[in-house]
Structure 1
Amino acid sequence: MNLVIDIGNSRVKLGVFKDNTLIYKETCNIIKLHAVVSNVQQKYPLIKFALVSSVVKKHDELLKMPPTIEKVFYLDSDTLVPFKNEYETPKTLGKDRIALVTNAFYTYENRNCLIIDAGTCITYDILTAEGKYKGGAISPGILMRFKALNNYTGKLPLVDHIAELTVKLTGNSTEKSLRSGVLNGVLFEIEGVINAYKEKYQDLTVILTGGDQHFLSKNLKNSIFATSNFLLEGLNHILAYNTNS
């Protein structure tokens, strides 16, 4: 069994895998990380390997792995990955993007893939059918756009972007106008990026994941494959790749 841990700035996602099957998932506050990992190890004592992906520099102070785990890997730019990384600055490539591309490499073998992760930021990553990672783009996420309009103006309110799953083109109030501008802007942006890559790469597979995927999958016109566990699955593939190497 494998344990993968994705440590963000405030939240932590954990997954236990038996081979390639996710059998347990939990999200917790970073303060409770050590206790949660201990409980998971007690529940699944056959966990043999672990992979930690962290954006927190002092993650070793937040997490002490149980001694029963045979080997612990920490994801960084030197970690072995199955795809050819053509990013010019690999040391600055986000660990979440590495995990997402890895899962696309295995799940959609020999296919051109565009992976869209809609969370705090919206990231776009392109993996070719030959297994070459080309890079992509980073833009502000939905909540970040709403916060920017609130923070950089004197009177515009902060809008709850998940209040509704649909959005009208024309807003007849300030709040609805904000929703129209931000949400339609994001939808038009994503559609435009997808269409641009479809012109460049034939038979493009578009993968959507991230915290805002539910809203986006309901409103995007392009056919997409949406999964909430795509990043954890990618981390597990990286762990398996390194334990077998």
Structure 2
Amino acid sequence: MQRSRSESPAELARLVVDIGNTTTTLALFTGDAEPVVESVPSVMFTDSAAMREVLADLSRKHCTPQAIAICSVVPAAAAAGSALLESLYSVPVLAIGSDLQLPFHLEYGNHNTFGADRLALCAWSCHLFARKSVIAIDIGTAITFDVLDASGMYRGGLIMPGIDMMSGALHARTAQLPQVRINKPASLLGRSTEECIRSGIFWGAVKQISGLVEAIRGDLVRDSGESTVEVIVTGGNSRLIAPELGAVSVIDELAVLRGSDLLLRMNLA
């Protein structure tokens, strides 16, 4: 479907597909309204018939997308998803990547290895906190930190295992430790093996993240003279961990989707 010359990118119905290691989220944006959001397991992208049904149902209930972007950290799923979406909607699919026009300046060793989800989160953070420095944290399968200064320059980042990965590794790499679902413990110290694992991973992650935020904030203040440092937190486990972190400006599980939509609009204009 071709868009009218008179239509701006913001007026189009825009589908963003965020393919993560575990979950794929589909968001349909129209105008400035909050998106319609649905999630499916990422493995569904290996079943084209099932995905066709999901996408057809989304279009029936809402509207047919006129512009599409894929933000993916799973290359094989991204390729399959792009082909499927183009065949369904006859619309070119924009792949979120460092070759796009960006609202921030990226300095990174190999741009091609900078994850699409991190690009989208940085784009949204820069848009949301214009002319302010920001620490963008994604608490998902992995926990990532990305830092922008007030001029929109990318300062660097960190990557560490996510809380579910920590729990899985303890179980997989030991003979007797059980797999434990991580939620907020009732107390700091556990009184069973399961409670000790849960407390160790939950509070360990909280203290790691909060300690790193303070260290990064200190660097920005000392090296760049920044007076205000914003913190945005997203990701599947953001609602679990972020309330314990203290000075967080925004918790938004849709931040990567919003950033992908922003990049889609910027690169359609």
TM over 0.5, shorter chain? yes
Contact map agreement 1:20 1:236 (CA 8 A) in 2: no
Contact map agreement 2:86 2:92 (CA 8 A) in 1: no
Unaligned runs of 5+ in 2: 1-12, 221-226
Shift of 1:135: 2.2
Instruction: Say which structure is richer in helix.
Output: 2
Q: Residues 167 and 188 from structure 1, CA distance in 2 versus in 1: closer, same or farther, beyond 3 angstroms?
A: farther
Q: Give the structure 2 partner of residue 12 of structure 1.
A: 24
Q: Quick one: which amino acid aligns to residue 248 of structure 2?
A: S
Structure 2 distance, partners of 1:237, 1:99, is 8
Q: Give the structure 2 partner of residue 112 of structure 1.
A: 133
Q: Quick check: 89-98 or 211-220, which moved more? A: 211-220
Structure 2 distance, partners of 1:96, 1:65, is 21
Q: Give the structure 2 partner of residue 121 of structure 1.
A: 142
Out of 193, 196, 200, which is 2:219 matched to?
A: 200
Structure 2 distance, partners of 1:60, 1:140, is 26
Shift of 1:70: 4.3
Contact map agreement 2:96 2:120 (CA 8 A) in 1: no
Give the total of aligned pairs. Answer: 242
Contact map agreement 1:8 1:56 (CA 8 A) in 2: no
Out of 182, 191, 215, which is 2:240 matched to?
A: 215
Unaligned runs of 5+ in 1: none
Q: Quick one: which amino acid aligns to residue 206 of structure 1?
A: V
Using the aligned pairs only, state the percent identity.
30
Shift of 1:58: 5.1
2:158 maps to 1:141: no
Give the CA RMSD over aligned residues: 1.9
Deviation per residue, 1:171-191 (Å, 9 max, x gap): 222111112221111111011
Out of 87, 91, 96, which is 1:75 matched to?
A: 96
Deviation per residue, 1:17-41 (Å, 9 max, x gap): 1234333111123233232223333
Out of 169, 193, 197, which is 2:188 matched to?
A: 169
Contact map agreement 1:7 1:56 (CA 8 A) in 2: no
Secondary structure of residue in 1 paired with 2:257: helix
Secondary structure of residue in 1 paired with 2:37: strand
Structure 2 distance, partners of 1:234, 1:224, is 17
Shift of 1:75: 1.9
Q: If the length of structure 2 is used for normalisation, what is the TM-score? A: 0.83
Shift of 1:91: 0.6
Shift of 1:222: 2.7
2:52 maps to 1:27: no
Structure 1 distance, partners of 2:71, 2:113, is 14
Q: If the length of structure 1 is used for normalisation, what is the TM-score? A: 0.90
Structure 2 distance, partners of 1:189, 1:9, is 23
Q: Quick one: which amino acid aligns to residue 187 of structure 1?
A: V
2:208 maps to 1:189: yes
Structure 2 distance, partners of 1:107, 1:160, is 33
Shift of 1:155: 1.1
